């Protein structure tokens, strides 16, 4: 009599256990709907990249250095992710490389967002001149949003250096670990489906998650303490778009991969469950990044009035305090 395990194995389609198909084999098996879907998503990815290149030309001509390089980096997050997702959609076996390329680029974007917040306030020198000695609230997400007892820390050159270091470490270590993962993957050592304690995945991915959380904390500290001064620059929707890309490119992809590993996403030969999950993730990502790129273009492809000086801020605060005192006296 066959055992239960043998009975289960006989019900599994052998195609569901195979590697992702080659690009040519995938193309040959597309039906009319599949061809239309792939064509539409490829067109959306191409338009996203084309609009970004036009935006780069505009920013390069209209914005001064070094702010223009920072804006070009940040606004390129959605187009780069969409382009890599399109490549992964057409070449399923390259998803590992395309995903890591997108993640490495976004790791640099995290640091560039912090740099942009500082540059919008005049650069490092003007930032320190305005905020040096002033208390900064550090109980912000994602690390310490619930720690209300944390004291405020005065801003200084050393403090700003630590914040920049906390953000840039993710860009460096993420790239190094991604290269290491690709090397191990080509050797068959790195496999997302292998969650054994002896596998490389169970050690590398959680460590990258810790690095991600650490890098987001300094950006959150700078934003939460300075965003009120940059509302005229639409800094809140810009920061919201950056957070949205983070959630969609990191959290959403992780959830889909977990569902695929658990078998919640059924296989559809020639795609295994894991390959189909990756394919769905790439297709959804292209549509999401296309919409985000349009919103990002409307936010960055424009010239904003410069921020008022610190003396102007102090004058406005004094007027507001005097007005409040007069109203209280009248009452």
Tell me which residue of 222, 215, 220 sits closest to 173, measured CA to CA: 215
Return the HEC string of 272-312: CHHHHHHHHHHHHHHHHHHHHHHHHHHHHCCCCCCCCCHHH
User: Residue 110: which CATH number?
Assistant: 1.20.1070
Domain count, the chain: 1
Instruction: State which residues of the chain have pLDDT below 50.
Output: 1-10
Range of the domain at 91: 34-304
Residue 218 lies in a domain: yes
Give the number of residues written for the chain: 331
Residue 12 lies in a domain: no
pLDDT of residue 263: 76
Contact 83, 51 (CB under 8 A): no
Structure token digits, residue 136: 């900064």
Distances 53 to 80, 104, 105, 126, 326 between C-alpha atoms, Å: 11, 20, 17, 31, 54
Distances 139 to 92, 116, 238, 246, 304 between C-alpha atoms, Å: 42, 21, 22, 20, 30
pLDDT of residue 7: 42
pLDDT of residue 47: 96
pTM of the model: 0.85
Q: Is the four-CA dihedral 248, 251, 257, 259 of positive or negative sign?
A: negative
Residue 193 lies in a domain: yes
Q: To which residue do tokens 């295994």 refer? A: 272
Residue 117 lies in a domain: yes
Burial class (CB in 10 A: 0-12, 13-18, 19+), 321: exposed
pLDDT of residue 311: 60
Residue 326 lies in a domain: no
Residue 143 lies in a domain: yes
pLDDT of residue 323: 61
Q: What is the pLDDT of residues 222-268, one digit of tens each?
A: 999 998 888 888 999 999 999 999 999 888 888 888 888 887 888 77
Contact 213, 143 (CB under 8 A): yes
Residue 293 lies in a domain: yes
Start-to-end Cα distance in the chain: 93
Residue 121 lies in a domain: yes
Tell me which residue of 265, 281, 262 sits closest to 273, measured CA to CA: 265
């Amino acid at each position: 009599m066959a055992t239960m395990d043998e009975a289960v194995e006989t019900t599994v389609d052998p195609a569901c256990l195979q590697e992702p198909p080659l690009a040519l084999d995938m193309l040959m098996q597309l039906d009319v709907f599949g061809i239309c879907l792939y064509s539409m998503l490829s067109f959306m990815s191409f338009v996203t990249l084309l609009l970004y290149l036009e935006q780069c030309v505009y920013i390069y001509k209209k914005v001064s250095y070094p702010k223009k390089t920072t804006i070009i980096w940040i606004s390129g997050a959605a187009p780069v992710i969409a382009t890599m997702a399109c490549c992964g959609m057409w070449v399923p076996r390259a998803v590992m490389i395309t995903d890591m390329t997108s993640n490495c680029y976004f790791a640099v974007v995290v640091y560039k967002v912090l740099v942009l917040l500082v540059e919008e306030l005049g650069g490092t020198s003007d930032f320190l001149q305005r905020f040096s000695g002033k208390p900064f609230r550090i109980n912000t997400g994602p690390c310490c949003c619930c720690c209300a007892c944390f004291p405020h820390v005065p801003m200084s050159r050393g403090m700003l250096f630590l914040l920049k270091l906390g953000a840039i470490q993710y860009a460096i270590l993420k790239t190094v670990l991604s290269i290491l993962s690709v090397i191990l993957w080509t050797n068959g050592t790195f496999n997302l489906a292998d969650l054994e304690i002896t596998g490389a995945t169970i050690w590398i991915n959680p460590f990258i998650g810790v690095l991600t959380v650490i890098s987001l904390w300094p950006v959150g500290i700078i934003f939460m303490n300075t965003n009120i001064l940059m509302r005229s620059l639409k800094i809140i929707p810009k920061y919201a778009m950056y957070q949205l890309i983070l959630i969609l490119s990191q959290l959403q992809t992780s959830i889909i991969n977990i569902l695929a590993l658990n078998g919640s996403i059924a296989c559809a030969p020639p795609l295994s469950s894991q390959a189909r999950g990756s394919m769905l993730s790439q297709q959804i990502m292209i549509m999401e990044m296309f919409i985000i790129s349009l919103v990002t273009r409307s936010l960055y492809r424009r010239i904003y009035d410069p921020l008022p000086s610190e003396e102007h801020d102090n004058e406005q605060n004094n007027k507001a305090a005097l007005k409040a005192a007069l109203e209280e006296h009248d009452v």
